[in-house]
Structure 1
Amino acid sequence: MVTEIAEKTHRQPRLSTALSRELGEELRRIRRRARMGSAETADALGWSLGKLSKLETGSRGTSPGEIGALLGRLGTVPPTRDRILAIAGDPDTGSFMRLHGPIADTLVALALHERMARAITGYEPFTVPSLAQTEDYARALTGDRAIAAARIARQEALHTLNRPDIVLYIHEPALRGAVGRPAVMRDQMLRLAMMCETTRVTPRLVPMDVPFDQSVVRHGALLTFAEPIKPLAYAETDTATVFHEAPQVVAHFEAKMRRLDALAMTPAQSRATFTRWADVYDQAA
Structure 2
Amino acid sequence: MTNPHRSAARIQIGTTLRRLREEAGLPRERPAEVLNCTNTKIGNIETTVSGIKQAELEKLLDLYEVDEATREDLLALNSEAHRRRPKSKIGGLIAPWLRRVLDVEASAVEAVYSSFELVPAVLQTEAYARTLMTSIGLAGEALEKNLRLRMDRRSLLTDREPPLRLWAVIAEPALRANVGGPEVMREQIAHILAMTELEHVNVQVMPEGAGAHPLLGTTLTLFRLPDKLPSLISVDTPFGDHFLDRPEQVEKVARWFEYTRAKALGVDESRELLSQITEGTR
- Which bin holds the TM-score, normalised by the shorter protein? 0.7 to 0.9
Cα deviation for residue 104 of structure 1 reads 7.7
Given that residues 120 and 224 in structure 1 are in contact (C-alpha distance below 8 angstroms), is that contact kept between their aligned partners in structure 2? yes
Given that residues 125 and 151 in structure 2 are in contact (C-alpha distance below 8 angstroms), is that contact kept between their aligned partners in structure 1? yes
| C-alpha distance in structure 1 between counterparts of 2:31 and 2:128, whole Å | 43
Pick closer, same or farther for the CA change 1:104–1:158 going to 2, 3 Å: farther
| C-alpha distance in structure 2 between counterparts of 1:179 and 1:103, whole Å | 23
Given that residues 28 and 42 in structure 2 are in contact (C-alpha distance below 8 angstroms), is that contact kept between their aligned partners in structure 1? yes
Residue 251 of structure 2 corresponds to 251
Residue 89 (structure 2) pairs with residue 91 (structure 1): no
Residue 3 of structure 1 corresponds to none
Return 5+ residue gaps in structure 2 as ranges: 1-5, 135-142
Residue 275 (structure 2) pairs with residue 280 (structure 1): no
Trace 1:46-61 onto structure 2 (pairs within 5 A): 46-61=36-51
Residue 42 (structure 2) pairs with residue 42 (structure 1): no
RMSD: 3.1
The one-letter amino acid paired with 2:98 is L
- Greater Cα offset, 78-87 or 53-62: 78-87
| C-alpha distance in structure 2 between counterparts of 1:41 and 1:203, whole Å | 42
Of residues 108, 124, 130 in structure 1, which corresponds to 2:121?
A: 130
The one-letter amino acid paired with 2:224 is T
Return 5+ residue gaps in structure 1 as ranges: 1-15
Cα deviation for residue 267 of structure 1 reads 1.3
Residue 239 of structure 1 corresponds to 239
Q: Which has the larger radius of gyration?
A: 1
Residue 27 of structure 1 corresponds to 17
- Greater Cα offset, 36-45 or 208-217: 36-45
1:115-134: CA deviations, max 9, x gaps? 22222110110222222111
Given that residues 223 and 231 in structure 1 are in contact (C-alpha distance below 8 angstroms), is that contact kept between their aligned partners in structure 2? yes
Residue 5 of structure 1 corresponds to none
Given that residues 220 and 235 in structure 2 are in contact (C-alpha distance below 8 angstroms), is that contact kept between their aligned partners in structure 1? yes
Given that residues 94 and 145 in structure 2 are in contact (C-alpha distance below 8 angstroms), is that contact kept between their aligned partners in structure 1? no
| C-alpha distance in structure 2 between counterparts of 1:111 and 1:55, whole Å | 18
Given that residues 97 and 240 in structure 2 are in contact (C-alpha distance below 8 angstroms), is that contact kept between their aligned partners in structure 1? no
Cα deviation for residue 217 of structure 1 reads 2.2
Secondary structure of 1:47 counterpart: coil
Given that residues 38 and 49 in structure 1 are in contact (C-alpha distance below 8 angstroms), is that contact kept between their aligned partners in structure 2? yes
Residue 194 of structure 2 corresponds to 194
Given that residues 22 and 108 in structure 1 are in contact (C-alpha distance below 8 angstroms), is that contact kept between their aligned partners in structure 2? no
1:224-277: CA deviations, max 9, x gaps? 234522211110111121111101211221122011111111111111111111
Of residues 92, 107, 128 in structure 1, which corresponds to 2:98?
A: 107
- Greater Cα offset, 44-53 or 247-256: 44-53
Cα deviation for residue 17 of structure 1 reads 3.8
Pick closer, same or farther for the CA change 1:230–1:80 going to 2, 3 Å: closer
| C-alpha distance in structure 1 between counterparts of 2:70 and 2:191, whole Å | 39
The one-letter amino acid paired with 2:120 is P
Secondary structure of 1:217 counterpart: coil
Pick closer, same or farther for the CA change 1:211–1:74 going to 2, 3 Å: closer
Given that residues 15 and 107 in structure 2 are in contact (C-alpha distance below 8 angstroms), is that contact kept between their aligned partners in structure 1? no
Residue 210 (structure 2) pairs with residue 210 (structure 1): yes
Secondary structure of 1:215 counterpart: coil
The one-letter amino acid paired with 1:177 is A
- Greater Cα offset, 16-25 or 154-163: 16-25
Residue 152 (structure 2) pairs with residue 162 (structure 1): no
Trace 1:143-182 onto structure 2 (pairs within 5 A): 143=134, 144-159=143-158, 160-182=160-182
Pick closer, same or farther for the CA change 1:68–1:184 going to 2, 3 Å: closer
Cα deviation for residue 73 of structure 1 reads 4.8
TM-score, length-scaled by structure 1: 0.80
